[in-house]
């Protein structure tokens, strides 16, 4: 992890697992590009993305370079940030959101709503929150994996498309 030194020091790198090559209709409204961040300490039973668990796995990117890659891969500017557990890299997620201020951003987290920092919420158009519970798995409710999870509109960010 790299941190830019100075009066307002900030994280400059982020670890990612992958960027989905095909756009998705299941990870928030519209045709969305999905980025999976690296690292997850929730270890839910039935997890389909165990390769994202190791916080030292995946690949490290400079946040500015990753934002440029996402601009090329995501011409409609609808991006879902998933994992792994994105809030393990909360500061880096905030910096990525700032780089993509003109995007329609959605965050998928296993944490509860009150655990998501306001500094991230203000950039989001959508949020999926709550842990994945295998016994409550659903393929009927939109944009969630289990019925205990919630998907909400936040009206954050500058892109309301
Ligand atoms: S939060 Fe998501 S990535 Fe992490 S263990 Fe649960 S289902 Fe898997």
What are the strands, taking DSSP E only, across 6-109? 10-11, 13-19, 33-37, 59-62, 78-82, 104-108
**What pLDDT digit, counting tens, does each position of 20-71 carry?**
989 999 999 999 999 999 999 999 999 989 999 999 999 999 999 999 999 9
**What pLDDT digit, counting tens, does each position of 60-112 carry?**
999 999 999 999 999 999 999 999 999 999 999 999 999 999 999 999 999 99
Residue 134 has pLDDT above 90, yes or no: yes
Nearest ligand 1 atom to the CA of 131 is: 1
For ligand 1, mutation pick of 39, 85, 115 (most atoms within 8 Å of CB): 85
Whole-model pTM? 0.94
Tokens at 151, concatenated: 């998907």
> For the stretch 13-40, what's the b/e string if a residue is b when 16 or more beta carbons lie within 10 angstroms of its beta carbon?
bbbbbbeeeebeeebbbbebbbbbbbbb
User: How many residues would you count in the chain?
Assistant: 161
Q: How far is the CA of 8 from the centre of ligand 1 (A)?
A: 32
SS3 at position 14? strand
Domains and CATH numbers, the chain: 13-153 (3.20.20.70)
Q: Give backbone dihedrals phi and psi of 49, rounded to 5 degrees, phi first.
A: -135, 50
pLDDT of residue 86: 98
Four-residue CA torsion sign, 83, 34, 50, 143: positive
């Amino acid at each position: 992890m790299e941190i830019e030194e100075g009066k307002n020091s900030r994280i400059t790198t982020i670890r990612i697992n992958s960027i989905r090559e095909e756009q998705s209709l299941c990870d928030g409204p519209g045709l969305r590009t999905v980025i999976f961040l690296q690292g997850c300490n929730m270890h839910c039973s039935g997890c389909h993305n165990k390769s994202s668990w190791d916080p030292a796995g995946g690949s490290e990117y400079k946040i500015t370079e990753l934002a440029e890659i996402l601009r090329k891969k995501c011409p409609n500017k609808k991006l879902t940030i998933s994992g792994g557990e994105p809030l393990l890299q909360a500061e880096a997620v905030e910096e990525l959101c700032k780089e993509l201020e003109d995007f329609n951003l959605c965050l998928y987290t296993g944490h509860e709503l009150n655990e998501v920092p306001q500094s991230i919420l203000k950039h989001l158009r959508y949020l999926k929150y709550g842990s994945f519970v295998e016994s409550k798995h659903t393929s009927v409710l939109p944009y969630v994996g289990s019925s205990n999870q919630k998907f909400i509109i936040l009206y954050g960010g500058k892109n309301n498309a």
